[in-house]
Every structure is written in structure tokens, then in C-alpha cells.
Amino acid sequence: MTIDNDTAANGAGDDGSAPLASRFPSGFSWGAATSSYQVEGATSTDGRGSSIWDTFVAEPGRVVDGSNGDTAIDSYRNIEGDVALVKEMGLNAYRFSLSWPRIMPEGGGRVNAAGIAYYSALVDALLEAGVTPWVTLYHWDLPQALENAGGWPKRDTAERFGEFAAAAHEALGDRVKHWITVNEPWCAAFLGYSSGEHAPGRREPAASIAAAHHLMVAHGLAAQAIKEADPEAKTSIGLNFYPVYAASDAPVDVDAARRIDGVQNRFFTDAALKGRYPEDVLDDFGAVTDFSFIEVGDMELINQPLDILSVNFYSQFTVTGADGGSVSASAAPTDSDSAWPANDHVGFVTTGLPQTDMGWEIAPAGLTDTLKRLHDNYPGVKLAVTENGAAFPDKLLDGQVADSERLDYVRDHVAACADAIDEGVPLIGYFAWSLADNFEWAWGYTKRFGLVYVDFETGRRYFKDSGKWYGDLVRQARSNREAE
Ligand code: IFM
């Protein structure tokens, strides 16, 4: 699968700099990532319970193309095919998530043996292929039964998640050593319960802050349960980070940047790694909530010892607080300012940088800066980039996808990781988002993030040029290290 332009990407730079593939330490985890609802399909198969996404997608107008995850890319029935793609690229790690309602259809109590059997088979197939599984416990498909009982704004949901984590670990922990508790609680809380763009589609700013806190309590309970069962297991939380810049030096813009940085970057990280929420964010949130949901002992519970901080990185924000901060462009993952509770007078400004098909600005240096900042602020924890990638409108022609923009995006972000390593950041892995095109939430199948193109009619997979390039890079990086 070697392609012609690989030397430019993987070979020595014109300036005599080291080849990209040689800039990573031995033992580095090279992976790709997916999540259950986005790829599995089989939503009514083998006793899987219903999730909030099954309910949400059935409501007219929620998903731009009216689609759903009923079939997705059929990964539930295609373990062999998906693992073969991972293996063919030479990856040594694969990140996927467990569907909570597939394992616990009612959200708590009864464990569905067929659900466990599926993930057990996937783990075995990966290990057989020499690939380390990185398992995410929560990637947004909350059992509908728990949403019916109040969802994440209710504390009980976090307690049930602790049970689910223990059950998942009991079934898979003999083989799975890398556990990411919760993925992007910012999205689950604020897109799910404040702007309503994601399931369950509620628009309740105060409840969204309770949801955010309970997602962190859930993280604490899960990390605790896993470490109790296996002190050698590596625990992590997946957070989505964006450098946030003020549009100008004007105090209103500087304050807008502080507020968005606070909710997006510091709120969850300070809680997980410092055991406290940032005071300035609590002050901002105080406009809409009294925090009565925070119980004594919660912050200690959330502040579990973590081995790895999982960094999801896509873009950067430039913000203004001027003129009431009307939203002027969609550099943000959402056009809706109501995704930032108590900050709805902030505007997102485009700066002229190239954008992906999501309208997200391409800013690889922001990844280096983010990794350095995280290491400076939370020095005791290793870092892994567990999502990074770009949507572009791909075309399949004669079995080929010439996605040079995505190839450039991945290459430049991998290089940004190498720059961070050069500056002393303890970065241990990079996972491209995503292994293959899949269901992109409220965008349905209209946005393609994969290294592998999926024909959504037939389910057939084709390596894109970016996937071929990434495979070349990884094989070269790994063979360099093995040769030492
Ligand atoms: O597809 C999503 C993923 O589920 C979570 N992080 C961002 C990706 C791209 O939007």
C-alpha cells in the first residue's frame, strides 16, 4: 500500500531535519479510534438495550440527513474486517468504546452475556493481531432507561456507571489494561443538556452543569473500581482541548477567552487532576446554578490517581466578547453559543486559516502548545493524543481516495506531537480519528473522518491515501525502533 508521496512526509525534511518516523520513542502507541454508536450498528441485536442516541435520531430534524446508527458501518458483524484494517496499517493500538446498553440493557443490574461476548471477541482478535486494546467506557450512548430516570443531571446515573465499569472490567480486565473512563464530558454535558444538539437534546443550562459534575463523579467511580480490581491497569479520561485566543487585547475579548478556556479546557482537567473546579468558572456558572449537586467528598472522588490524560484535539478558537458576542462564524464545533452555559455572550471568530469540512480551523501548532501547556499545568501525568483528524468531502474514484488535505492534516499534527516530545512532553501515543468513515452524530453520514473510506451503501472499505500514508509512517516508526 506504499504511495508515492510518502518520502516527502516520512523522509528527512529539506532542511535536514530528522525524518518524522524517527522522532518517536520506542513503545509509542500508534493507533486509530472509533466509538460504539458511530460504527457498530446492530442496535436491536443480541439483547442490546436502547440508548439516548437511538431515541434522539428518531426525532425529526435532529440529524441533518435524517440518518441513524441502526447499521452504521456494521462493525458489530465485522470484527475480522475491522481488525484486518488496523493490522494492515501496522498499528499497535486500537481505541474503541463499549456500548453501555449492549452490556447493561437497563443501565444497571443485569449484564447481557451476548454484549460481553462481542467485546471479548473483539479484544481477542486485536490481541491475536498484536494490537493493544484501549477501551473507552462512555462515548455518549447512555442507556435510555437511565435518561428516563433523569439522565446525567441525576447522581444515580454516575452510581450506575460505576457498576457498569466494574462489570466491564470484570469481563475484560484480564486482557484490557488501558481504560478511558469518559470521553469528552464537555460534549456529553453541554451539547446534550444545554444546546440540545446531541442526545438527549435537552436545553437546560443549569441541568447541564449538574450533568458535567456527575460525569466527573462517574469518572471517579470508574477509575476507582478499575484500580481496585487491577492496580496495574492504566486509567485515563478523554477530554477535548482547544487553544482559545482573544480576538483582540480589548478587556472584553480577553475575558471571553478566559471564560471559554475555563469551561472547555480547565474545568474538567482541574477536577480530574487537581481535585477542584477553577474558581473563575464556578463564578461564571454561579449565574445559573447553586451547585447543590456537589456533595462532600465528590472532589476527592473525582481526583483519582490517573496514569494517562487522553487528549482529543481538532482545532482552535478565537473569541470575542464585543457587541454582546454574537456568533460570527462556525470555527466552533457548534454554531450554538448555548453550549457554553452562562457564557452566551461570547462570539467565535474565523481568522482566515484553512478549515476542514466541519468549518474547524486547521492549527497544528495549537496541538504542540496544548500538549506543552497540559504538561506544565499537570506535570505528573503522561499524555496520549487519543483523537485527532479531519472531515473532508472525499471522492471514491476507481477504488482510490486522493484525500491530500487529510493526509496533510494528519502529517502536520503528527509532526506537532513530535515537536512536543522534543520539548520534553511525556507523550506516549497518537490515535487518528477515525479508523473509518462513520456516523458523525448530528451530521449523520455527511462528514467523513476516516483513514478508510466506507461505501455506506455496501459497507465496503477502501484505504484513503491518508490511511496508506499513516500506515507507512507507523510501520517505518516501529521498524526503526525494533531495529535499535
Ligand atoms: O466523531 C467525534 C467523536 O465521537 C468525538 N470527538 C470528535 C469527533 C469528531 O467530531
Give the model confidence (pLDDT) of 172-191 as tens digits.
999 999 999 999 999 999 99
Beta pairing class for 452-454 and 461-463: antiparallel
Which residues lie closer than 8 Å to 478 by C-beta, 6 or more apart? 30, 90, 92
Distance in angstroms (rounded) separating the CA atoms of residues 277 and 268: 7
Give the model confidence (pLDDT) of 412-452 as tens digits.
999 999 999 999 999 999 999 999 999 999 999 999 999 99
Give the model confidence (pLDDT) of 119-173 as tens digits.
999 999 999 999 999 999 999 999 999 999 999 999 999 999 999 999 999 999 9
pTM value is 0.96
Domains of the chain: 5-482 (3.20.20.80)
Query: What mean pLDDT value characterizes the chain?
Result: 94
Cell of 49: 438495550
Give the model confidence (pLDDT) of 250-305 as tens digits.
999 999 999 999 999 999 999 999 999 999 999 999 999 999 999 999 999 999 99
Query: Residue 440 C-alpha to ligand 1 middle, in angstroms?
Result: 7
Distance in angstroms (rounded) separating the CA atoms of residues 299 and 180: 19
Distance in angstroms (rounded) separating the CA atoms of residues 126 and 121: 9
pLDDT at 332: 43
Confidence band of 15 (pLDDT split at 50, 70, 90): low
Query: Residue 469 C-alpha to ligand 1 middle, in angstroms?
Result: 22
Atom in ligand 1 nearest the alpha carbon of residue 443: 10
Nearest residue (CA) to ligand 1, atom 2: 440
Give the model confidence (pLDDT) of 334-387 as tens digits.
556 788 888 878 999 999 999 999 999 999 999 999 999 999 999 999 999 999
pLDDT at 214: 99
Across 2-145, the runs of DSSP E, i.e. the strands, are 29-33, 93-97, 132-138
Q: Which of 4-13, 54-63, 94-103, 272-281 has the lowest mean pLDDT?
A: 4-13
Residue 330 has pLDDT above 70, yes or no: no
Give yes or no for residue 197 CB within 6 A of ligand 1: no
Nearest residue (CA) to ligand 1, atom 1: 440
Cell of 68: 441513524
Query: Residue 447 C-alpha to ligand 1 middle, in angstroms?
Result: 11
Nearest residue (CA) to ligand 1, atom 9: 440
Distance in angstroms (rounded) separating the CA atoms of residues 22 and 11: 9
Cell of 80: 475480522
What is the mean pLDDT of the segment spanning 213-219?
99
